[in-house]
Each structure stands twice: as C-alpha cells, then as structure tokens.
Structure 1
Amino acid sequence: MKPTLRAALTSPFVVFTVFMLGKIYLSWFVIFESAFSWLPLLTGLPTVWAAFAPIELFARKRKLMLYMIVNVVFTSVYFAAIMYYKYFGVIVTYHALQQVGQVTEVKGSVFSLLHPYFLFIYTDIVLFGLLLTFRRTFRSWAVRGMTLNRAAAGLIFPLALMVSIFCMWTNRDSINEIKQAQHMGILNYELYAIFAKRSEPLLDESEITAEAIMKAKGLAANPSPNYWRAAEGKNIVVLQLEAFQNFLLGLSVDGQEITPNMNSLMKQNFYFPHIFQMVSQGNTSDAEYMLNTSFYVPPYGAAAQDYGDRALPSLPKEFRGIGYEALTFHTNDVVFWNREELYKALGFTRYYDKSFYGDADTVAFGASDEVLYDKTVTEMARLQGEGKRFYANIISMSGHHPFNLPDRKKKIELPDRFDDTLVGDYLTAQQYADYAIGQFIDKLKETGLWDQTVLFIYGDHMGLPIYSLSSKEHALMKDMLGRDYSYPDMLNIPLIIAGGGVTSPQVFPQIGGHVDFMPTIANLAGISLADHLHFGQDLLNTQHNLLPERYYLPSGSLINDTTIYVPGRGYADGVTYALPTGDGAMPSEDEYKRALELLHMSDSYVNQLPKHD
C-alpha cells in the first residue's frame, strides 16, 4: 500500500468516521430492527462529517481531543437511544433529562436492559483512552497523521450540513416519532427535537367543552346512567397494581395458577377485560394523574412534573366536597416523580409514604406489598372507627421492573424453561403481588371494611415490553398465550370493581383506558361531573370509545372498539392491530383527526389552569 494511501486511511477523519458508522448501524439494527439499508449511511454520515470537517478546518492543536469529545457525545446519544428504546419503545430526546433525578431509583431496571454487546459501542473510546494513557507517541497521531485537505474539508462541511438539514426538513411533518427518527437519522432527530419543538397554539377555553369532547369522541351523553349512586356513602378504595397486565388473569403454567386471588375477584365481581394503558414517561405517577383527573398525559415528560404545579380539578376534591377524606398510600418516598407537588395539585387530604411504612421487609423501592396492605388497612379501619368515610388510592410496588423478587417472597416455582428470563421473573413477581392481594382482601373482611367499601382494582402499565424481550422470551409468551405477544396484549391492563354495589358477577366487554376511571367512580359514588370537564367515559354506561395514545405508541396512535392504530409517516401508511373485540379495520381519517383533537383540547385546558398555592 502506498504511504499516502496508508496515511489517508489511518487519518483521524477516516478512522473516527469508520467507528461512527459502526455505531450508526448498531443503533439501526437494535431500534428499527431492520435488515441492512443504505438509509442510515445517507442520514447519519453527513451529520458526523458536519461535525468532523470543522475540526480539520480550524483545529491546529488538540485535534485528537476534539475528535474524542465529538465521538463521546455522539456515542452517548446512540447508547442512550438504544437503552431508552429497549425500555420505553420510543426514541429518547432532551425531554428525558427531566427524568435524571429518577435514575437512581430505577437503576435496577436500567442495568437489567444492558445487553453486553451494547457496550461495544464504547470500544473505540476505551481503546483510545488506553493508548493516550500508555503510549505518549499516540498523542501526536492527529498532528503527524494525514489531515483532510482544507479545500476538501471546506467542501464537505456545507454539503454535509445541507444534507442533514434536508433530512430534517423533508421528514418534519411525520407525526410518528420513530418513523421520523428512522428517516431523519437519530442525530438529526435529536437536533430537530431541540430546535424545532412541535407545538400548537392553545385553544381558547371557550372551545373546550363537554359537548366538544363528546363530539370528538363520536358519543352522546347518557341522561339516565346505570349504577348511579350504587356505592353512595361507601368508602371508595382504588388499588393500582404495579406493571400488572391483563393476560395474567386466568393464566396457568404447567397447572400452577399465577393469579388465583385476582381470578377469584374477576369471576365474582365486575370485570373489564379490554382496558388499555395510556401512560407516558411518568408510568405509575401518570396512571395516578389520569385516574384522578380524567385528563390526558402531556405530550412530553411526566404529568406529575409538567402539571404538578397546577390547580387540577380532580376526584379527591370532588370527594372532599361531599365530606370524604381523600388519602393516598405509597411505600416509596413522596418526592419520587414529584408526587408531593402532584398530591397538592390533586387536593388529597393526606398522603402516606416511606416515612409511614418504614424500611421493614423491603422489596423493590420500599416496604413490601404485604406491609403496604397491612398498615394501610389498619389506618383505614381507624378512620372508619372515627366515623369517617374516605376515598383512598393505594399504589402497590413489589411487582416493579426488573422483577427481582427476593427468594423469601417467592410463592411459586416455575419450570426450568423460565429460568433466567424476564418472563419468568415477571410471573414470579406478579404471583407474589397476587398473594399479597389475597392478604389485603382478608384483612378488609376481618376489619369489617369490606362490606362498607367499593374496591376498584386496575393495572397501571405494562410490565413486559415487546421490544425488551429476547426471541426465547417471545417464544415463551407465544406458548403461554397461544398467539404472538404484540401490542394488544402488551397495552392491555385489567380492571375489576368489587364490593358494595356489585350485585352479581358481570363481564363488561367495552374498550376503556385510564381516563375513563374517574367518571366511572363518580357515577358509582353519585358525584355529578356535569360542571367538571373530563375526557373519559363512564365504563358502566358506554359501549363505544376512542382512546388517543401517545408515548408508548407514537403520536397519532389511537385505540377504538376494534383496532389499535399506529400511524406511519402519516395517516395513510399506518398499521393496525386487531383487538379481541374487532377485526383490526383501519380507522377513518376523520377518527384519526378527532383523536388528535382530543389531545389538543386536553393539553390546552390543563396548560391554562392556574397554579396551586
């Protein structure tokens, strides 16, 4: 090989370009799960060159250091994109920096997703670091090595910049964030998210009415609802189950029932098998927010962080208005997910957190579900003994990802095929969660609370992301479910209403989501929401629904009576997933637009609320 060619091929510009190409394609294969394509080359390489060319043009000293800085920054962006996608199924943006304070709490979940081969993305950085440390001559490589001709660098920079801008410009109208990142390139998408934040002007409050919401949903008001005041005067207890999916109910593995207590509740009470999660980055706290407001989650970030400073119209305030105590119970520290502010915004009378439950019998982030239920029921019994009625939210936590349940809590031994799998860990953790629910029900009955209480039980969000599962784990799921595990299963959470007011077992087949819980509870309790703007439907009195989705499904996604719809780069190239209640037919474009309209109304309304004291 001629010396000039060898020098060119070993120049920093070429060497760092080659390493960056490897990272571009690694992220492409992991995130987009596509076969080889020239698209990453066309969308990723110009952005890299637009950063490298100025180094060749202007840097005379410390050139290697500048290449290393750019390399570390770009590598970290790709690594963050891979890791975030494996947990959330979305492309990370700068908005995720809002969650940095939560990382220490969920580090177990983060590390569980860290496949060893992902770390190869940092191989070159480690190698360069070692060479710089132990070989002094390497430090002058960038100076001694062949540099890019200044004229060539001067040409490459504007051309690469123009191509990058072209990639962003031609894909700016794509509503699906994943498709947008795929066709822009991840680095371009990150820049686009910073400098071209999509925002619509807020609607005037006069345009956001109950009638407008019902029209967008394609529904009509029901003047004589069933079960009105069926739970009037009773305590209302809402149990939110961590990462609890609907497929668990009725599931057995080699003859072992996974959720015998939930199965019993399902068979003896009101059961809604077609409820779907609607949470965003806040996960559990987002579910709490929607339960108590019937508003949609914000377009970016967690509701507790984005809306925690607002004076939110809420279910706790409605219950306090009729003389109830409004309480919430959670074994973690209240500062996690900004809950202290969220609970003020929602108007709870009192919250109970780690300071109440202590550190005894710790599982996941706090005291076990058994401790949670034991101390909570004792406190509720005390309040009832004082003649107080209450609306209570109880947040379970022992079934949290990555489902590392201590051996002392395991109540089931799964077959060997589940060893060292996320699916096996999930089933074991949720079987314990179900065991603790049995203890909870028993204590409610022992204390006399059961007959005076309506119990509303639901899952907060999915526990097994389809994009986190290995091929072996997907095979396990298919073997258990008798079908491929996909969005209709992943997003499906259970809802059971038990106790007073439930006169006979019944299965309600209608579609619903988190925003529908508040009006359903209000109907049972006899609380009129005629003057209270809300976006959900009373699930006891509706046969049709339209659920706009965001975050875990790309913007523009929706769930209707028959279908989960996910847009492509626009409406027409979207894909559908059939629900058990339908055939997966493509929704009309009008329905697609109405779902977006609902989100816009909710965003506009909440952002114009005054701040709480």
Structure 2
Amino acid sequence: MSSSTNRLFKWFSGKRPFVIFSLLLIVKSYLAWMSIFDGIPPLSPLLKEIPFIWVTFCLIEYFASKRKTLYYLIVNLLLTGIFFAAIMYYKYYGVIVTYHALQQVNQVTAVKNSVFSLLDPYYLLIFIDIVVLGIVLIRIARLRKQQRGLEPKLRRSHRVAVSALFALCLALCIFNIWPNRASMNEIKKAESMGILNYEAYTILSSKKEHLVDAKQINQSVIDKLKGTSKPVDPAYYAAAKGKNLIIIQLESFQNFLINLKIDGQEITPTMNKLAGESLYFPNFYQMVGQGNTSDAEFVVNTSFYIPPNEAATQNYPDKQLPSLPKLLQKNGYDTATFHTNVVEFWNRGELYKALGWNRYYDQKFFGTDHTVFFGPTDEVLYAKTMPELEKMQASAKPFYTQIISMTAHHPFTIPHELDRITLPERYQNTMVGDYIRSQNYADWCLGQFIEQLKEKGIWDNSVVMLYGDHQGLPKYSLNKDELALMEEIYGRPYSNIDMINIPFIVSLPGTGPAVIDHVGGEVDVMPTAANLLGISLDDQIHFGQDILNQTYNLLPERYYLPSGSFLNDKALFMPGVWYKDGDQYPLAKDGVTQALTTEDEYNRALKLLQLSDSYVKQLPDRQAN
C-alpha cells in the first residue's frame, strides 16, 4: 500500500471525520434555512442545528470502534435527507415536513413531475459530498483489510471529553426545544427550535389527542362557536327543489383567473361568462391539506374540516361518514362521481365507499388515451361523462354528480399542441405561464361540456356548482421572476390571501346573476346546496354554513397556512408564537388594518377544529366491503 493511501486511511480513521462532517452539515443547515425561513439571523442555523448534529456524532465516537467513517457517512446521509425533504416539502406545501409525511411516500412517484418542477439544480449539491465521500470510503474499506488495527481506540480521556460534549449538546437541544413548544405556527416553531430539533420533537411529543365527548358536540354548539344563527326565512330556500346537482371541481383554479386578460387575450372565457351569468362568490377559500384534491372532495361532501395530520383519505375512510351523497340518496337522488385518475390514488376508493357514492368512474372507465399527467385530459373526462349523465337524466330520479377535472395539474406542463393561446415572451418557460395556458385549455374543455349540457336539456334542470379545489401557484414555489409576473397580474405583491382564494360559482335555473361578497370556504358547499335543494340538515352535524344567507363566517385554516390561522369576513389571521404576535391581512384593500380579528375568534376557530376532529374520530367504523 502506498504511503499516500496509508495517510488517507489514517486521516479518515482519526478524529477528523467529526470536524469534516460537522462542517458539511453546517453548510447544509444554512442552505435549508435560507430556502425556508425569511431574514435568518447569521448564527441561528449554527446555534440551533449543530447541537443536534454533535449529539449524533458523539454517539458514533462513543460506541463505534470500527467502521466509524461509515457511520458518519450514514448519519450524514440521514440528516441531509431531512434537510432536503424540508426544503422540497416547504416548496410544495409551505409547511415543515414531519414524520407524518412518510405516509405520502407511495404518492411521490405519481407526482414526480410536480416534485421535479420545484427542484432547483443547486439543491442537489446538498448530496455531492455523500457521493464523493462514498467513493473515498470504498477505497478505505479496501485499505482496512490490509491495515487491521490501524483504527485508533477511544482513550479514556477522549471518552470523558465525548461524554461531556454529548451532555452539553443534549442540554442545548432541550434548551432550544423546551421554551418554544407552545408556538402554534409550525414555521416559527421550527425556526426557534432548529429543523432537526423540531423533527425530533414532533416524534417524541406525539401523544394521544384529547377528544371532546361526541355527546357534547351538537349543531347549536357549533353554530355558537361560528357566530351564526339560522335565518327564519332563508333566501333561495328550495329554489332548485327536485333539480339535479352537478358539482364540478376544477383542478388548481384560483380566483385571479376570473376576467383576467393578458395582452388582450381572455384566459378563462367560459368561467368569466359563468361568473357574469350566475351567483359568483369572489371571497371563497380553499380548506385542504396534504391530500389536496381528495381533501377538497372530502370537505365539500361532509362539511367537516381536514384532519390535523395526513390526508382525510388516510385518516377517515374507515368511518361511517355523514355525507352529501348519503343525504341526497335519502331524498331520492342517484349519485356518482367521475375522475380520470386511478381510484387507488390517495386511497380514493375507500373514501368513496365511506362517502356512500352509488358509483364511481375512474381510469378503468375513461381509459388511457389522450393522457396528461395522471390520466386522460378534461376533453376525455367530459366527453365520456356526458353519456352517463344522459342515462341518469333519463331515469325517474334526480341525480347528484361530482366531476373532478385534472388537466390543469401542477406542474402545468401540458403539451404545447393543446395550447389555445400564445402568451407573451415574458411568460414563456415559467410556472406562471404554464399555469395560465393549462387553465386556458381546461376552461375550453369546460366550455365544450357546458354546451353539451345545454343541448341535452340537463343544464336547465340542474344546479351547477363550480369551484377550484386548491391553489395552483404557492408563492413559496415561485422564483423572483414568477413573483414579478404575479405582481403584474395583481397590481401588487402576491399574498397568502391571493394564494388560497378560489372562485365559487352557482348556476341556478331561473335566477339572475349576482356577485355575493360573503366569505366562504369549501366546508360551506354542502349547507349551501342543501338550502337550494330544500333539504334539511337538522339531523346532520356540519361545520359549514349556507353562505347565501350568512354574511359573517369563521373559517379555520390548516396546513397551507400555520395552525391557528383563520378567516373571518374582514381578514386572514396568521399566528406567530401565539395570537398576540400574529399578523392579520385585510380582505378589502381599503387600508384598514386594525381590529379586524379578535383573540376570541382565534380561540373559537381552534375549538371548531377540535370538535370536528373529535366528532369524526368517534364516528362508528364502517364495515369493509
């Protein structure tokens, strides 16, 4: 063995791995912090992350007498993976990843295009050292066979030093974690604790949630918390009694698209026309979590909030869920839902059984021709759905169908042969531009479908509700050029309110157009539909309200915004560590920023979430079929 390789072996077998890997992980800590947090103090990543890193390194130094460098490399890989996951998850969801997200791993391959679209090339540099050091480690392993006994043993004095450093770093970890446990805002909590400490805290602090006794949860308690009362003579009550209900859930459709023109080109002419001819709610907001589209299906059809962790399809599919399909079936309706993806995606098959749909149509029905992203385009969705609606229309029963569009899915890179507009050069090869052209195509498909509904006489015999399922352009996913495009569109910086604002449009036969400014969310769709159809919800717990008849609303938000966030009729509130250091963002642009939200509303919003979680978790289990 050459003297140079012998020196290499000795160099890596000594104390230097502790220093080398510490430096590498400090650099990665700064990369993660700069990608996630705003205006970070220069020493924060060092002071928050290095104690956790050194705790793991001390364990290696104390217990590993052989293959020490291999263990350093493994720990380096694991911690690097946590930092990388934190960056990518934040870019997609705007929250800090936790171990709960492991349940989503089986969905990653399906959304790999979305993941790759958020991957800035420099993020991959976080793994370069692992590749290089892996090669070096292989060389060392070969040398070790020839140099048994070269690896130094841990002397007693070194053991004492390692034990002291371990105790000090563990104390620092606890010091970083303990005072910051009460923070409601997960981003603030992770920044105060450090990313690695926060991840450890979420695992170690996991405990059984306190559930409110289901017997104590009733509609009057919910309505009191929401600050609403049942109107004596509700407007629009039974205005569509006996009519069909068609709910069209539009993939990633945000409200700013309504009436948007770029260089004189209408982006969504179909939705613009609908908004001008129907009941249009411009102050309507998403209420989804990790499950995105499937969460929207759950919230709309149950009027419950999403669970605190994971998607609703992962938490509640085994429950006997009260739902809109079941409610309408009791009132003589046939029910069906349509989606061109495979029903196994996000465990939809089990959700559909729990919701009680009579039938569902997925990719087995729609086929695999003309596929974009996860399934056939919206052209295929609407074309093949139409004959089924005709069959349902021909029967003696009214029907309720939910149709889930999908073509305008993140990352919005539909083939250019589907383009129906040409955007200016500044929009080319940007996520904003791709989003706009995909929504333009999806809008054209919708227009074709609506014309067919009218030709077949279904439109005039139906209440048609349309809404966006969730945001399409998270502001934390956009680069500075894309944020500049959004500022050009809005005439001001793109905000959290803008991001979660989706349109809600109700086409009601025989009713003229109106713009209704009442604040609403997806949880309100079921009560609003029930009012229009003249169906009572007196025997069905619901956390939404009929937004045709309520001017005040209290909407707890989860996931895409920090825990404790909520909307009322005046503002969006986002907490800091608690309520008093939170921020409020007015819905109206009149310059008024004081006294728009209250701490009482904050506490009531948290209580509503607890009641919803408690009620659903204590529902009877359904029998598998």
**Fold conserved between structures, TM > 0.5:** yes
Tell me how far apart the structure 1 counterparts of residues 285 and 63 of structure 2 sit (CA, whole Å): 55
Name 1:587's counterpart in structure 2.
Answer: 597
Matched, 1:596 2:606: yes
TM-score normalized with structure 1 length: 0.96
- Aligned pair partner of 1:375 in 375, 378, 384: 384
Matched, 1:464 2:469: no
Tell me how far apart the structure 2 counterparts of residues 250 and 9 of structure 1 sit (CA, whole Å): 67
Tell me how far apart the structure 2 counterparts of residues 154 and 195 of structure 1 sit (CA, whole Å): 23
Residues 53 and 154 in structure 1, CA contact (< 8 A), matched pair in contact too? yes
Residues 561 and 581 in structure 1, CA contact (< 8 A), matched pair in contact too? no
Residues 8 and 14 in structure 1, CA contact (< 8 A), matched pair in contact too? no
Matched, 1:344 2:353: yes
Listed as ranges, the matches of 1:49-198 within 5 Å are 49-134=54-139, 149-197=158-206
Listed as ranges, the matches of 1:517-556 within 5 Å are 517-556=525-564
Matched, 1:243 2:248: no
Tell me how far apart the structure 2 counterparts of residues 164 and 142 of structure 1 sit (CA, whole Å): 35
Matched, 1:12 2:12: no
Name 1:233's counterpart in structure 2.
Answer: 242
Instruction: Decide whether aligned partners of structure 1 residues 214 and 138 sit closer, same or farther in structure 2, where only a CA change above 3 A counts.
Output: farther
| TM-fit CA distance, 1:133 | 3.6
Instruction: Decide whether aligned partners of structure 1 residues 465 and 146 sit closer, same or farther in structure 2, where only a CA change above 3 A counts.
Output: farther
Listed as ranges, the matches of 1:191-210 within 5 Å are 191-197=200-206, 200-210=209-219
Residues 65 and 153 in structure 2, CA contact (< 8 A), matched pair in contact too? no
**Structure 1: runs of 5+ lacking an equivalent:** none
- Aligned pair partner of 1:31 in 29, 36, 40: 36
Residues 69 and 137 in structure 2, CA contact (< 8 A), matched pair in contact too? no
Tell me how far apart the structure 2 counterparts of residues 603 and 541 of structure 1 sit (CA, whole Å): 26
Residues 113 and 468 in structure 1, CA contact (< 8 A), matched pair in contact too? yes
| TM-fit CA distance, 1:143 | 6.1
**Quick one: which amino acid aligns to residue 546 of structure 1?**
L
Name 2:583's counterpart in structure 1.
Answer: 575
Residues 64 and 142 in structure 1, CA contact (< 8 A), matched pair in contact too? no
Tell me how far apart the structure 2 counterparts of residues 167 and 314 of structure 1 sit (CA, whole Å): 44
Deviations 1:55-88 (A, max 9, x none): 1122111101111111111010000000000000
Instruction: Decide whether aligned partners of structure 1 residues 409 and 50 sit closer, same or farther in structure 2, where only a CA change above 3 A counts.
Output: same
| TM-fit CA distance, 1:200 | 3.9
Tell me how far apart the structure 2 counterparts of residues 136 and 536 of structure 1 sit (CA, whole Å): 63
SS in 2 for 1:467: helix
Name 1:396's counterpart in structure 2.
Answer: 405
SS in 2 for 1:606: helix
Residues 270 and 446 in structure 2, CA contact (< 8 A), matched pair in contact too? yes
Residues 278 and 513 in structure 1, CA contact (< 8 A), matched pair in contact too? yes
Tell me how far apart the structure 2 counterparts of residues 200 and 133 of structure 1 sit (CA, whole Å): 47
Tell me how far apart the structure 1 counterparts of residues 319 and 12 of structure 2 sit (CA, whole Å): 62
Tell me how far apart the structure 1 counterparts of residues 521 and 14 of structure 2 sit (CA, whole Å): 57
Instruction: Decide whether aligned partners of structure 1 residues 55 and 145 sit closer, same or farther in structure 2, where only a CA change above 3 A counts.
Output: same
| TM-fit CA distance, 1:223 | 2.4
Deviations 1:11-59 (A, max 9, x none): 0110110001011111110010324422221110000000001211221
Instruction: Decide whether aligned partners of structure 1 residues 598 and 198 sit closer, same or farther in structure 2, where only a CA change above 3 A counts.
Output: farther
**Quick one: which amino acid aligns to residue 243 of structure 1?**
S
Residues 11 and 146 in structure 1, CA contact (< 8 A), matched pair in contact too? no
**Quick one: which amino acid aligns to residue 598 of structure 1?**
L
Tell me how far apart the structure 1 counterparts of residues 447 and 36 of structure 2 sit (CA, whole Å): 40
Residues 463 and 509 in structure 2, CA contact (< 8 A), matched pair in contact too? yes
Tell me how far apart the structure 1 counterparts of residues 78 and 150 of structure 2 sit (CA, whole Å): 22
Name 1:442's counterpart in structure 2.
Answer: 451
**Quick one: which amino acid aligns to residue 558 of structure 1?**
F
| TM-fit CA distance, 1:454 | 1.1
| TM-fit CA distance, 1:581 | 7.1
Residues 240 and 508 in structure 2, CA contact (< 8 A), matched pair in contact too? no
- Aligned pair partner of 1:265 in 259, 269, 274: 274
TM-score normalized with structure 2 length: 0.94
Which has the larger displacement, 211-220 or 283-292? 211-220
Count of matched residue positions in the alignment of Structure 1 and Structure 2: 608
SS in 2 for 1:496: strand
Deviations 1:276-307 (A, max 9, x none): 11101010000000101000000000011100
**Structure 2: runs of 5+ lacking an equivalent:** 1-6
Tell me how far apart the structure 1 counterparts of residues 460 and 478 of structure 2 sit (CA, whole Å): 42
**Quick one: which amino acid aligns to residue 92 of structure 1?**
V
Deviations 1:286-335 (A, max 9, x none): 00001010000000000111001100001100110011111100001111
Name 1:429's counterpart in structure 2.
Answer: 438
